[in-house]
């Protein structure tokens, strides 16, 4: 874009009609060069901020009737049964779409319904291909567990800041009857390599608090892992069958839910996963620091007490 007067020419990128900026935007460039069609009524069911891209793509193909489901072959007189339940009649999903578009639900419920819809379509389509082309079949229970796990992982991977309104997604999806809420946190002293770990258990509004000191802890992330490990070990000793574990360490939650790679957590994460197999239900999720104040206070108190003991021992 040439400038006026004696100023040097400057390169600017077009972001909109008569709108130019110094930086390049792939999104804005794509908006400028693509052909726009009329917005369809179901667009917000496919494209919403919390979607999983590969799930959304399959759902988009489904709405466009571009998946190879055998419907066209049936029109040619070739028998095409249902790969899952051997049903001959095609099911109309207009009622499902109408329900998803309904405004009777609150915002969090709508987001969850869309996520369930996307994941169900994706897992069903993937299983259909596996049965047709590989001859491998999953049970209905296994498919449901995969849908559940995919939704949990997506909820955990969302970016939360402070008391973000989307934090309620996790609670809505994972609320289980007789499920004990476990919150853990840690405080770490870099010089002494000492940590204080604290955790709480909440069952039917009854809150119990626990804390322990840990020595020879090389990082704050490891301290967070040790706190969670101690908490679920305690729950196993009490024979608690269902737990919901909450931590304000996003790295720890990622390591547990998305197989994130953190060398310092390798051993403790393996321990946590092994212990988790003892429970009927276990779920790991992130919470804000504000929501984890009790466990944080417990960890700081026990760390302070342990440091005082170390000082008195050394002075003696």
Coil, strand or helix at 241: coil
Specify whether the CB–CB gap between 136 and 143 falls below 8 A.
Answer: no
Looking at domain 176-315, what is its CATH homologous superfamily?
Answer: Ribonuclease H-like superfamily/Ribonuclease H (3.30.420.10)
Residue 293 has a pLDDT of 95
The answer to whether the beta carbons of residues 286 and 250 sit under 8 Å apart is yes
Question: Which residues, including other chains, have CB under 8 Å from residue 95's CB and lie 6 or more apart?
Answer: none
Predicted confidence at residue 5, as pLDDT, reads: 63
Nearest Cα residue to 100 out of 146, 63, 153, 144: 63
Q: What is the pLDDT of residue 4?
A: 63
| Residues in a beta bridge with 244 | 181, 283
pTM to 2 decimals?
0.56
User: Which of 123, 199, 108, 120 has the alpha carbon at shortest distance from 158?
Assistant: 108
The series of mean pLDDT values per 10 residues for the chain, 316 residues long, is 65 86 87 84 91 94 84 65 56 75 74 92 91 83 87 80 65 74 96 97 91 96 97 96 91 81 88 92 86 96 95 73
SS3 179: coil
Q: Please say whether the dihedral angle defined by the alpha carbons of residues 44, 46, 49 and 50, taken in this order, is positive or negative.
A: positive
CB 121 within 8 A of CB 62: yes
d(CA 132, CA 55): 20
Backbone angles phi, psi at 130, to 5 degrees: -65, -40
In angstroms, the CA 1 to CA 7 distance is 12
Angle separating helix axes 250-257 and 220-237, nearest 10 degrees = 60
Domain ranges of the chain: 1-36, 43-167, 176-315
Q: Round to whole Å and give the CA distance between 73 and 67.
A: 12
Sequence-ordered list of residues with C-beta below 8 angstroms from that of 161, at least 6 positions apart, any chain: none
- In whole angstroms, what is the distance from residue 288 CA to residue 250 CA? 9
């Amino acid at each position: 874009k040439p400038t006026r007067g004696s100023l040097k020419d400057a390169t600017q990128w077009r972001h909109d009609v008569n709108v130019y900026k110094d930086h390049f935007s792939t999104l804005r460039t794509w908006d400028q060069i693509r052909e726009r069609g009329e917005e369809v009524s179901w667009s917000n069911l496919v494209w919403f901020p919390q979607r999983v891209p590969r799930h959304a793509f399959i759902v988009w193909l489904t709405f466009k009737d571009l998946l190879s489901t055998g419907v066209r072959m049936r029109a040619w007189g070739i028998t095409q049964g249902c790969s899952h339940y051997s049903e001959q009649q095609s099911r109309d999903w207009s009622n499902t779409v109408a329900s998803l578009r309904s405004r009777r639900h609150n915002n969090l419920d709508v987001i969850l319904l869309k996520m369930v819809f996307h994941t169900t379509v994706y897992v069903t389509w993937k299983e259909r291909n596996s049965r047709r082309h590989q001859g491998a079949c999953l049970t209905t229970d296994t498919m449901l567990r995969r849908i559940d796990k995919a939704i949990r992982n997506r909820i955990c991977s969302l970016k939360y800041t402070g008391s973000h309104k989307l934090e309620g997604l996790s609670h809505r999806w994972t609320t289980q009857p007789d499920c004990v809420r476990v919150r853990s946190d840690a405080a770490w002293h870099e010089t002494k390599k000492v940590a204080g770990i604290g955790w709480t258990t909440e069952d039917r509004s009854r809150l119990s608090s626990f804390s322990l000191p840990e020595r020879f802890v090389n990082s704050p992330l490891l301290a967070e892992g040790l706190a969670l490990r101690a908490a679920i070990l305690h729950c196993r000793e009490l024979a608690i069958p269902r737990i919901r574990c909450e931590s304000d360490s996003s790295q720890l939650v990622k390591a547990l839910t998305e197989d994130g790679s953190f060398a310092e957590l390798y051993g403790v994460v393996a321990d946590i996963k092994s212990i988790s197999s003892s429970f009927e239900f276990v779920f790991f999720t992130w919470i804000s620091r504000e929501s984890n104040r009790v466990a944080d206070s417990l960890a700081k108190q026990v760390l302070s007490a342990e440091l005082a003991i170390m000082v008195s021992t050394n002075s003696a």
